[in-house]
Amino acid sequence: MKAVPAILLALLFAVELSAQLTYDRIRQAVREPGSWLTYHGTYDAQRFSALDEINIKNIQQLRPVWMYQVQGRHHFETTPLVFDGVMYLTDPPSDVVALDVRTGRPLWAYRRSLPDDLRACCGDVNRGVAALGDQIFVATIDAHVVALDMRTGRVRWDVEVADYKSGHSLTSAPLAVKDKVIVGMAGAEYGVRGFLDAYDAATGRRAWRFWTVPGPGEPGHETWSGDSWKRGGATTWVTGAFDPETNLVYWGTGNPGPDFIGDVRAGDNLYSDSLIAVDVDTGALRWHFQFTPHDVNDIDATEIPILIDADFRGRPRKLLLFANRNGFFYIFDRVTGEYLHARAFARQTWAKGLDAKGRPIPNPDTVPSPKGALVYPDDDGITNWFSPSYSPQTKTFYQNVREKGGIYFRNEAVYQPGRMYLGASKRAVPDEEPWGALRALDPLTGDVKWEFRVTTPPWCGLLSTAGGLVFSGTMEGTFFALDAESGKLLWRFQTGGAIWSNPISYQAGGHQYIAIAAGSALLVFGLPASESR
Amino acid sequence: MSTTSWLLVLQMTVAIEPTARPKVTAQEVARGRSLFEAQCAYCHGADGDGGRGANLARPALRRAPTDEALFRVVNRGVPGTSMPGNAMSARETWQVVAFVRSLGRVKREPLPGNVGRGAQVYDAAGCAACHTVRGRGGPDGPDLTDVGARSSPAYIRRSIVDPQADVPVGFKQIRAVTREGRRMTGVVVNEDTFSIQFRDAAGTLHSYFKEELAEVATDRRTTMPGFRERLEPTALDDLVAYLVSLEGTR
């Protein structure tokens, strides 16, 4: 009987508060630090929490408050959303669960029935949901977008984005902006042609599609030889950022297809490995920058653009910071797209350097060959989908990095729908022990201020907080906090499972919490005072 | 979409059953290798020895104890892992199965030694202090239960006479000094950013957070002695013959 009042209370709490998550609330998420309203927390993707109850003085007392175990078996990569007393997370591959934030008890679950012949190159994973109005949106591994009733998890609409049988899949959290849901897609390893979509949140009708590989007659089409554009990849599989003032979504794109063979697609292969700035109302491309033209090392530029306003070289500017999987840290003017600066922040050998416009000077020795070509980083990248964080308090850009090379042996790539379209096999570097680090970068130069080394290259994103902390995790399951100024280790907890996710922070009952997915559990941490609520 | 395309889609969307297996010939295996290189080697390595994907160059595969099970894994993938299903025909899938099965098997060669005498050499030389065979023996060296199925006689011989030449992964040595000045050595059992666990020569397990240690150094030098001088040539042949005979259980 004891459970009944708790559930009733939780339901009342949810019904009372979960009226609407308006666009205005999301746009002004920074004024609502107790919530986590988008995949990145805020549209600028800084992944910074202004909460400071948990801080460098009391972090030693941080302890688990509750856990939730998912049913999914693959990497648990979700970033939860939290608002109005409810946490919304994805249970891989494509389920959604709503939890009461006070107790961790489920309020509803959406369980998706999936076909048994899915084609996802890199795991049946999902990184989270978007929310807008009274709906929750999930992008599914079988390439649908589904809108759920926020109160019940019941399906409002379910639309097919693309045919999963040809290798399309959706793994990232959508981004809800104004009245639209922006959806990125994956499948470059199967020779799909990439795009970024927007759907009307109310009806599910597609509002626009921006093809990241231009078709005949479109600018950029000439950067693909023959009909290679049809299988050009350039997918959009990590959630981007949005600036309400420029009205642009900023989104990274992935590798061209086939991943490791360039001669069948002579040219720069726009807009693969690029940053695209797209008008959110129309889907029109405003500007772009290609980081890695004619990539043959599978170094997708699907990382997170972080938007900050700062004085750059004596002038206030709207900047976009981008720590790329290719090993370079870039700074742009996000209004005009002007390239301002870049520098390497980890070991890379694929480029001999960058020219004055940021275009790389390729190193021909790193092109996959039948004899094998050694390249740094390997195709998992210096970084990958996991999130960086920017603290306006310390004015520091935090990034987890992977120091690891690979040897690539060229083979054949023959396109057939639903089959891998790659062109190389890979070997580890003999006697090399890969390692990782959390690096603190100067956001205006890319210089490394300090680093905290970890044994194994990480797959964990970061959270910085106004409490002077940076949170991260390891492949061996330790969730830990560093002093955001110095990089000194302040706290750690062994979760018991590898951490493939991004931490968040939120407030419930007047107290701050930190949440992280690890192994197959979502863990929530708080201070002792928070337990007597 | 043409009729051919529709047929192709139809073929792709149906999970196929492992029936009508073609005879395993060198041609089928070669075709399997070619398919493996294009569809599988990115994760499993060109020689199937693993990477992002599992090491397939071994005599027994955990998820595929039978060829039929391996067929289903290749066709449908392994739900909940990074292993996707593949849109290959039944014939192509069998070709890949034939190639994968060829990876984990070492070719048998006529050997000069005697297996029975080799087992006695194994006992007399004290190999079981560190190595395990069928559950019996020490923990600090590789398990040899199926060493004959996964390693060539030449590799086994070299490991005995010159163990430093190719030290297997996972048997790091540690030298550590605690903050109180206690010096210790052993074999690393596990290590991460924050802590290390190791076993000393007496078999005692030690665990430290790294801040509790004043010094900690690990390296991959092996503690296995070289047996070039310690064994007569015939005894060495016998020991190799015994180890090659260890094929484990499937």
The residue of A73, A117, A164, A416 whose CB has the most chain B CBs within 10 angstroms, and thus the best one to mutate to test that interface, is A117
Inter-chain residue contact A426 with B42, CB threshold 8 Å: yes
Q: Does residue B231 register a pLDDT over 80?
A: yes
Judge if B229 and B215 occupy the same domain: no
A422 contacts B87? CB cut-off 8 A: no
A480 with B86: Cβ contact below 8 A: no
Distance from CA of A462 to the nearest CA of B (A): 17
Does B56 contact chain A (CB < 8 Å)? no
On chain A, the residues whose CB falls within 8 A of the CB of B193 are 453-456, 474, 476, 478
User: Is B191's Cβ below 8 Å from some Cβ in A?
Assistant: yes
Flag if B194 and A411 touch (Cβ within 8 Å): no
Regarding whether B239 and B119 lie in a shared domain, the answer is: yes
Q: Given pLDDT bands bounded at 50, 70 and 90, which one contains residue B107?
A: low
Query: Phi/psi class of residue A70: alpha, beta or left (left: φ > 0; alpha: ψ in -120 to 50)?
Result: beta
Alpha-carbon span A460 to A465, nearest angstrom: 16
- Which string of DSSP letters, residue by residue, matches B84-141? ------HHHHHHHHHHHHHHS-PPP---SS-HHHHHHHHHHTTGGGT-EETTEE-SSS
Residue with structure tokens 């609409």? A157
Within-domain flag for B108: no
Residue contact B39–A419, C-beta within 8 A: yes
Phi, psi of B108 (to 5 degrees): -80, 135
What DSSP designation does B21 have? P
Distance CA A331, CA A340 (A): 6
Domain co-membership, B25 together with B85? yes
B181 at the A interface (CB within 8 A)? no
- Chain A residues touching B79 at Cβ < 8 A: 73, 124
Name the minimum distance, in Å, from the CA of B19 to any CA of chain A. 18
Which of A72, A116, A414 has its CB closest to that of B76? A116
Going by C-alpha positions, the residue among A432, A434, A323, A426 that lies closest to residue A379 is A426
A333 as an active site residue: the answer is no
Q: How far is B144 from chain A (nearest CA, A)?
A: 23
| pLDDT tens for each residue of chain A, 533 residues long | 344 444 444 444 444 444 589 999 999 999 999 999 999 999 999 999 999 999 999 999 999 999 999 998 889 999 999 999 999 999 999 999 999 999 999 999 999 999 888 888 888 899 999 999 999 999 999 999 999 999 999 999 999 999 999 999 999 999 999 999 999 999 999 999 999 999 999 999 999 999 999 999 999 999 999 999 999 999 999 999 999 999 999 999 999 999 999 999 999 999 999 999 999 999 999 999 999 999 999 999 999 999 999 999 999 999 999 999 999 999 999 999 999 999 999 999 999 999 999 999 999 999 999 999 999 999 999 999 999 999 999 999 999 999 999 999 999 899 999 899 999 988 889 888 899 999 999 999 999 999 999 999 999 999 999 999 999 999 999 999 999 999 999 999 999 999 999 999 999 999 999 999 999 999 999 999 765 44
Task: Look at B80 and A73 and tell me if their CB atoms are within 8 Å.
Answer: yes
Size of interface A-B (CB pairs under 8 A): 100
The answer to whether the CB of A14 falls within 8 A of the CB of A107 is yes
Chain A residues whose CB is inside 8 A of the B51 CB are 426-428
Verify that B125 and B145 share a domain, yes or no. yes
Give residue B12's pLDDT band: very low, low, confident or very high (50, 70, 90): very low
Residue A77: exposed, middle, or buried by beta-carbon count in 10 A (0-12, 13-18, 19+)?
buried
Same domain, B52 and B75: yes
Predicted pLDDT at A3: 42
Chain A: give the shortest CA distance to residue B35, in Å.
10
Q: Taking residues B26-38, what's their average pLDDT?
A: 91
Lowest mean pLDDT among A74-88, B48-62, B200-214: B48-62
User: Is B198 a member of any domain?
Assistant: yes
Same domain for B127 and B31: no
Provide the token pair at A380: 């998992």
Nearest one of B34, B35, B54 to B44, comparing CA atoms: B54
Q: B37 and A492: CB-CB below 8 Å? A: no
Dihedral over alpha carbons A488, A493, A499, A503 (to 10 degrees): -70
The one-letter amino acid at B99: F
Give per-residue burial for B214-229: e unless 16+ CB within 10 Å, then b: eebebeeebebeebee
- How far apart CA A170 and CA A192 sit, in angstroms, is 13
* Cβ within 8 Å, pair B41-A425: yes
Pick from B5, B9, B42, B74 the residue to mutate for testing the A interface (most A CBs within 10 Å): B42
Helix (H, G, I), strand (E, B) or coil at A11: helix
Report CB contact under 8 Å: B38, A74. no
Most confident of A391-405, B133-147, B199-213: A391-405
Cβ distance B37 to A411 less than 8 Å, yes or no, reads: yes
Determine contact: B6 vs chain A, CB below 8 A: no
For residue B167, what is the DSSP state?
P
Shortest Cα–Cα distance, A214 to chain B (Å): 22
Q: Is B192 in contact with A418 (Cβ distance < 8 A)?
A: no
Which amino acid, residue B153?
P
Note whether residue B250 is domain-resident.
no
Which domain covers residue B42, as residue numbers?
3-103
Mutate to test the interface with B, among A114, A384, A407, A420 (most CBs of B within 10 A): A420
What is the chain A residue with the closest CA to B74?
Answer: A117
Together in a domain, B235 and B122: yes
CB of B219 within 8 Å of any CB in chain A? no
Interface check for B55 against chain A (CB to CB < 8 A): the answer is no
Residues from chain A contacting residue B87 (CB–CB below 8 Å): 117, 119, 165, 416-419
First to last CA, chain A: 21
**3-class SS at B210?**
helix
Residues A123, B12: C-beta atoms closer than 8 Å: no
| Domain end point (choices B63, B79, B103) | B103
Domain boundary among B103, B128, B145: B103
A342 near A319, Cβ under 8 Å? Answer: no
Distance between CA atoms of residues A523 and B182, nearest Å: 37
Cβ pair A70, A97 in contact under 8 A? yes
Asked if B38 lies within 8 A of A122 by C-beta distance, the reply is no
**Quick check: is B81 in a domain?**
yes
Q: What is the CATH number of the domain that holds B236?
A: 1.10.760.10
Of B47, B72, B103, the one marking the end of a domain is B103
In chain A, residues with a C-beta closer than 8 Å to the C-beta of B41 are 409, 411, 425-426
Measured in angstroms, the CA of A449 and the nearest CA of chain B are apart by 20
Interchain contact B30–A (C-beta under 8 A): no
In this prediction the pTM is: 0.88
* Total count of domains within chain B: 3
Nearest neighbour of A425 by CB, restricted to B45, B80, B81: B45
Q: What residues of chain B lie within 8 A of the CB of A409, using their CB?
A: 41, 46
Structure tokens at B250: 């499937």
Selection from B60, B144, B160, B71 nearest residue B104 by Cα: B60
Q: Which residues does chain A have within 8 Å of residue B88's beta carbon, measured at their own beta carbons?
A: 419
Residues in A touching B192 (Cβ below 8 Å)? 454-456, 474, 476, 478
In a domain, B229, yes or no: yes
Residues B164-180: b if buried by 16+ CB within 10 A, e if exposed: eeebeeebbbbebeeee
Question: Are residues B7 and B81 both part of a single domain?
Answer: yes
Of A116, A119, A427, the CB nearest to B45: A427
Does B132 share its domain with B232? yes
Question: Which residue among A84, A298, A378, A379 is the active-site one?
Answer: A298
- B232 inside 8 A of chain A by CB: no
Q: Give how far the C-alpha of residue A100 lies from the chain's centroid of Cα atoms, to the nearest Å.
A: 25
Burial of B124 (0-12, 13-18, 19+ CB in 10 A): exposed
Beta-bridged to residue A188, according to DSSP, are: none
Contact A123 B81 (CB under 8 A): yes
Q: Output the average pLDDT for chain B.
A: 85
Residue B202 shares a structural domain with residue B91: no
- Set of chain A residues whose Cβ sits within 8 Å of the Cβ of B9: 165, 417
Compare B7 and B47 and report the one with higher pLDDT: B47
Which of A117, A119, A424 is the closest to B42 by Cβ? Answer: A424
**Are A119 and B37 an interchain contact pair (Cβ–Cβ within 8 Å)?**
no
* B37:A480 CB<8 A: no
- What pLDDT was estimated at residue B7? 39
- Same domain? B150 vs B236: yes
| Residue in B34, B77, B193 nearest the CB of A474 | B193
DSSP per position, B146-166: THHHHS-HHHHHHHHH-GGGS
Is residue B196 a contact partner of residue B184, using CB atoms and an 8 Å limit?
no
B236 with B149, same domain: the answer is yes
B193 and A476 within 8 Å at the Cβ level: the answer is yes
Domain CATH code at residue B193: 2.30.30.100
Give contacts of B37 with chain A, Cβ < 8 Å: 411-412, 425
- All domains of chain A, ordered by start, with CATH? 3-22+75-432 (2.140.10.10)
